[in-house]
Chain A
Amino acid sequence: MVIEMELIEKLAILADGAKYDASCSSSGSRRISKNTFGNTSFSGICHSFSSDGRCISLLKILMTNCCMFDCKYCLNRKSNDIKRAIFTPEEVCKITINFYKRNYIEGLFLSSGIIKSPDYTMELMIETIELLRKKYHFGGYIHAKAIPKCSEYLLKKLGFLVDRLSANIELPTDEGLKLLAPNKNSSNVNKIMNYINNNKSKKFVPAGQSTQMIIGATKETDLDVMKKSEFMYNKYKLKRVFYSAYVPVNKDKLLPTIKIPPLTRENRLYQADWLLRFYNFKVEDILDKKNPNFNLLLDPKADWALRNLNEFPKEVNTCSYQDLLKIPGVGIVSAKRIIKSRNLFNITFKDLKKMGIVLKRAKYFLTCNGRYFMDINFFKSSFIEKNLILEDKKNITENIEQLTLFNE
């Protein structure tokens, strides 16, 4: 029996059920739209930041938190005794439009528990988003989660209505899925990713697809995680993989007994993900069977550089762009600046600072006009490691999402 519930209570329940999805991005869409109410911003816009420091860009909600499945890690699983709610399509539209008008949000992120059947759930979501686009002429950003095992014609229909459509791989390994989400398997998710990748166009899922993995709910290694990401980036041209540190919401003998989510590990994975996508690193450069997990004390790039000290120093006035990218403390923007500037003048250490290079990190790995920043005697790997770790400690508590705001 469904009891009438205040809209505000529904919103509380259905935001609560949606918040564990890490995806926040509202960028990358160049959808051509005749809709007159709202638009999208290619670079994405953060509208607020919640007290956990995460960006709020979209109205992130579930259509319903009723679910026929029982994934062990999930707040909404069938066996949990929690309040259940379901939005009507009109209610979702009302909230979205009113929030958008006041500039609270960039658009809607709609996901759902699975109610009755995958197709039934998808139809409910499609009805909602169709209403939003056609009746309310909403032109803002919409990200929808596809429900695994739904029919292809529904995927097609939804894909033409939204900016981003995605399916969550949930856990990095098939064994993990079998253990914690026995109703799911990765081939159903792969099918969706494949379909979206094959049909992507200016009108169909123009902002591309993303996915997310929960980290630390099973015994996977960082190597497992990164291999999975590398595979999905290559095969399905994903825009992003989101890593979500496991938050213990349920008690279950199959779940790890941790109290605090593994946030530092999550941070390392995001940094490594960045290295794969923009710095031309391969997974085997930074992890292997002997070292399958990241050093929690050092970021993956610095860790790699220390293990490969023989490749350094790089001379900033002559080395290649690719080599510049390998230097800890040199990012993409600053590497490009170096390339452009050194045609015009000889770069000194003073100039590097102005170009945004983090000298505290970079000074061990580069020379300017053949000279080190300081006495060569300091260049023992143990000394460097100690100093980099000190530097890193200061940053560790800050979230990596800072990096993800403006680039995608």
Chain B
Amino acid sequence: MALTTEEVEKVALLSRLQFTPQELASLTAELGKIVGYVDLLGEVDTTGVEPMAHAIELLNVTQDDQTRSSLTREEALANAPKQNGEGYLVPAVLGD
């Protein structure tokens, strides 16, 4: 299945990515190949096969509601590009 440049542009916008026209062209071709590869699955005849909600047949994997210790704040913030010792700092989020 071939993807259009518009489709790739939309996915890029949703993913907050910006591409040059050259990048867009090469990504459209590359993504198209990946989607085409997945399309191979369409060749399998699934008539009469019940759709699955999950790849493995596991159900009800749960844990008890008991708290365990969390990361320390220092650990949690360690990889943040910008932080003030209390929280992550990001470019202003204004309005909603």
Task: Answer yes or no: are A and B bound together in one complex.
Answer: no
Enumerate chain A interface residues (CB-CB to B < 8 A). none
Enumerate chain B interface residues (CB-CB to A < 8 A). none
